[in-house]
Amino acid sequence: MRLFNKTIFFSLLITSILMLASFSSCNSNKSRSKNSSHIDKTSYKQLSPEFNSDSAFLFIKKQVDFGPRVPNSAAHMECGNYLVSKLTEFGAQVLEQKAILKTYDGISLNARNIIGVYNPNSEKRILLFAHWDTRPFADQETDTSKRTQPILGANDGGSGVGVLLEIARQLNQNPVDVGVDIIFFDAEDWGQPSFESNQVPGEWWCLGSQHWAANPHIPNYRANYGILLDMVGGSNASFYKEGYSVQYASNITEKIWKMASRLGYGKYFINKRGGYITDDHVAVNQLHRAPSVNIIHTSEDSSHGFGDFWHTHNDNMDVINKSTLKAVGQTVMEIVYTEK
């Protein structure tokens, strides 16, 4: 009797232990699979220091406070000097490429491409670029009387430079081993207005980058890849994978869009193809200075495909949004800081 009881007792005990074990293993399997799908989406560990969007915002405001940065104007000269002094303050080796560049309407521009170099002796190099000049006419204004005035270019011009100045500040505080070249191109935005009836044959956009790509600051200059920032500060910006970027630099395009989504910025970096846009990366790609990607705000809401602020007097500080600056700045920084 005692023996029987003992046997029943132990067999019950073993059964319940087995049942418990199977339940708990079931549970842990479930929670493990839940966790791992969670890990794929959100638990990417950021390696770069925090991009400060307040700082980037102030770098944009400072440029806008000079007024329109139209080549040959006093504001352009003063802003150029400011950009040289900031890159110098942030520990870059600074060079200026000066050139006289002819516009479609026969004006000779005193252009300055401003170049900041980090780790000049590193073999592996990343080229980061944006244009710093602003458009001399507001040709997208519906009121024709407003079209002849130059724009402030907070987003178109100011934003890319503001984000890159903040990255320069970060590179000074937290150095990397890879070579980084930051170029602020001049004379990007003197393209012929589309409403003019006689279109002058030639490529009149992107004069500064065309000049540099043909005459780089170092003979035979090549970077492993390049990233262009154009209109990267607008509220609710959307960045599609631009045509030339995919054509010339598909790997780095994919890498940037994937990184943005890992960091939680997938609502800005849309996983879809966009159109081909004439911009500073075209000559850089075609003259093989670096396979380069354009991060540029495009929108289906407007007839021209850019935001409604584009080439109007609404392109002022009111269109600049710190969350957009953060999304772009942190994504580019993560690409730079994860480079070996």
The answer to whether residue 278 forms part of the interface with ligand AHN (CB under 6 A) is yes
> Do the beta carbons of residue 184 and residue 217 sit within 8 Å?
no
State in angstroms the smallest separation of the CB of 129 from ligand AHN. 12
278 binds, among Zn ion, ligand AHN, none (CB under 5 to 8 A by kind): ligand AHN
* CB nearer to Zn ion: pick between 268 and 306: 306
Which residues contact Zn ion by CB under 5 A?
A: 135, 156, 189
Nearest to 123 by CA among 179, 171, 176: 179
230 touches, from ligand AHN, Zn ion, none (C-beta below 5 to 8 Å by class) = ligand AHN
Give yes or no for residue 295 binding ligand AHN (CB under 6 A).
Answer: no
User: Distance (Å, rounded) from C-alpha 68 to C-alpha 137?
Assistant: 10
CA triple 209-210-215, angle to 5 deg: 90
CB of 277 to ligand AHN, least distance (A): 5
Binding of ligand AHN by 189 (CB under 6 A): yes
Judge whether 155 and 163 are in contact, CB under 8 Å: no
Strands 269-273 and 239-241, by their bridges, are parallel
Question: How near is the Cβ of 248 to ligand AHN at its closest, in Å?
Answer: 17
Q: How far is the CB of 187 from ligand AHN (least distance, A)?
A: 11
Tell me the site size for ligand AHN, rule CB under 6 A: 7
Does residue 166 bind ligand AHN (CB under 6 A)? no
Choose the binding region for ligand AHN from 2-10, 33-41, 85-93, 273-281 (rule: CB under 6 A).
Answer: 273-281
Position 205 contacts ligand AHN (CB under 6 A): yes
Contact call for residues 51 and 324 (beta carbons, < 8 A): no
The residues in 30-69 that bind ligand AHN, with binding defined as CB under 6 A, are: none
Question: What percent of the residues of the chain are helix, what percent strand, and what percent coil, each to the nearest 5?
Answer: 45, 15, 40
Beta strands 239-241 and 292-296, pairing class? unpaired
Which of 268, 265, 261, 335 has its CA nearest to residue 296? 268
Which residue, 60 or 252, is less far from Zn ion as judged by CB? 60
CB proximity list for 171: less than 8 A, separation 6 or greater = 90, 91, 92, 118, 180, 336
Closest distance to Zn ion from the beta carbon of 311 (Å): 6
Kindly list the distances between the CA atom of residue 166 and the CA atoms of 49, 194, 251, 261, in Å, as whole numbers in the listed order.
11, 34, 26, 21
**Residue 59 or 137 having the CB closest to ligand AHN:** 137
Q: Residues 76-115: x/- map of binding to ligand AHN (CB under 6 A)?
A: ----------------------------------------
CB nearer to ligand AHN: pick between 90 and 268: 268
Of 181, 230, 315, 334, the one binding ligand AHN (CB under 6 A) is 230
Which residue from 133, 166, 279, 315 is in contact with ligand AHN, where contact means CB under 6 A? 279
Question: What SS3 state is found at 276?
Answer: coil
Which amino acid is residue 34, in one-letter code? K
Nearer to ligand AHN, 227 or 277 (CB): 277
Choice from 277, 325, 333, 335 touching ligand AHN (CB under 6 A): 277
Task: Give Cα 113 distance to the centre of its chain.
Answer: 19
Q: Which is nearer to ligand AHN, 43 or 278 (CB)?
A: 278
* Residue whose pair of structure tokens reads 């019950």 in the numeric block: 12
Q: CA–CA separation, 90 vs 234, rounded Å?
A: 26
**Residue 72 CB: number of other CB atoms within 10 A?**
12
Return d(Cα 168, Cα 203) in angstroms, integer.
31
Residue 156 sits in the site that holds ligand AHN (CB under 6 A): yes
* Chain residues that interact with ligand AHN, rule: CB under 6 A: 156, 189, 205, 230, 277-279
